[in-house]
């Protein structure tokens, strides 16, 4: 979906609205990431609520909870774990960007010495 947005939708909208292509900014990327994350969480929550309802109904009817129910729950927890790891990695990346400073200067040297010495 994100690929579709960047490859098809964005060029058409940029050409129609702005008259040409323009670079995607960090704010646009952030908004897109938050919106896709929210949609993912919202959809996942709806699917998990149905898993809970089925499990509770089976328990109330004294039916055995089968392997499919277990696999559904396991996939849910794996998906949530992967999502949370990605969120934590994103926060760590933001912390590194905001808290760490880059060293200035162009220290380009190689095994033959400084390139400016040859001039």
Q: Cβ(37)–Cβ(89) under 8 Å?
A: no
1 within some domain = no
Q: Is residue 15 a part of any domain in this protein?
A: no
Domain span including residue 50: 25-99
pLDDT in tens, 19-66: 888 887 888 888 888 888 888 778 877 777 777 777 778 878 878 878
- What's the maximum distance between 2 C-alpha atoms anywhere in the chain? 87
pLDDT, residue 105, reads 54
Based on the structure, what is the number of domains in the chain? Answer: 1
More confident residue, 52 or 106: 52
pTM for the whole thing?
0.45
Does the CA dihedral 97-101-103-105 come out positive or negative?
A: positive
Q: Is residue 44, in this structure, part of any structural domain at all? A: yes
Asked, for residue 110, whether it belongs to a domain, the answer is: no
Q: Tell me, yes or no, whether 18 lies in a domain.
A: no
In the numeric block, which tokens belong to residue 92?
Answer: 């760590």
Whether 85 has a pLDDT exceeding 80, the answer reads yes
The residue among 69 and 1 whose pLDDT is bigger is 69
């Amino acid at each position: 979906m994100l690929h579709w947005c960047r490859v098809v939708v964005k060029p058409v909208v940029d050409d129609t609205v702005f008259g040409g292509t323009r670079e995607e900014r960090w704010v646009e990327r952030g908004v897109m990431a938050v919106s896709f994350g929210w949609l993912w969480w919202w959809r996942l929550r709806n699917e998990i609520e149905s898993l809970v309802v089925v499990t509770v109904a089976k328990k109330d009817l004294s039916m055995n909870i089968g392997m499919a129910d277990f696999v559904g729950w396991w996939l849910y927890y794996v998906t949530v774990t992967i999502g949370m790891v990605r969120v934590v990695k994103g926060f760590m990346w933001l912390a590194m960007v905001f808290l760490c400073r880059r060293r200035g200067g162009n220290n380009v040297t190689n095994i033959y010495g400084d390139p400016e010495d040859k001039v």
